[in-house]
Amino acid sequence: MTITVVRAFIFYIMLTAMMKLMGKRQIGEMQVSELVTTVLLSELAVLPVTDTDIPILHGIMPLLLISSIEVIVSLISQKSRNFRVFLNGEPIVLFENGRFDEDNLLVARISTEDVEAQVRINGFKDLGEVQRVMLERTGKMSILPLDSEAMPNQSGE
């Protein structure tokens, strides 16, 4: 039991340090690679903490490796637009000028009802008030009103 407690403490410190190194953003703002890294890190930490049969280095080494790769990938994607697009994709138009883009909806696996719901959540009555709905790289939908003066308070959630 003491070993588990000590290991948990070590992993807490390690993960905190690695998260600080990566400069984590909020979950809703994560890019694909950041999300993958976060999920992997949590899984990597759990196994050696709970299973004392596993050497602690089996958790620490991959943790260090993945964190450092994430930092390097982030920097490369910041410098290179092509790499950024390859890794995280580009914003796509889901609805424009009164028409849904069926191809993009299929690619994003989002239904028309989801778009309509998001429009209502953002304070519009219906799609008639909207010029364009885009799916951003973060997974959030951004909505451009038909009449920019009639723009409601958009939470972006």
Partner 1 sequence: MNNFIVAIIILAVVIVFSVINSIYICSVCDDITALIDQNKLDEAKKLWEEKKDYISYFVRDAEIDVVSSEAEAIGSDTPIEDGEAVGMRFREAIGEIKDTEEFSLTNIF
- Looking at beta carbons only, is 75 or 117 nearer to partner 1? 75
**Which of 39, 47, 61, 117 is close enough to bind partner 1 by CB under 8 A?**
61
- Looking at beta carbons only, is 60 or 146 nearer to partner 1? 60
- Applying CB under 8 A, the span of 34-42, 64-72, 85-93, 141-149 interacting with partner 1 comes to 64-72
Q: Which of 80, 91, 69 is nearest to 138 (CA)?
A: 91
CB of 77 to partner 1, least distance (A): 12
Tell me: does residue 6 bind partner 1 (CB under 8 A).
Answer: no
The secondary structure of 24-68 as a DSSP string is: ---GGG--HHHHHHHHHHHHHHHHHHH-TTS-THHHHHHHHHHHH
Q: Which of 100, 141, 94 is nearest to 122 (CA)?
A: 141
Q: Which residues bind partner 1 (CB under 8 A)?
A: 21-23, 52-55, 57-58, 61, 64-65, 67-72, 75
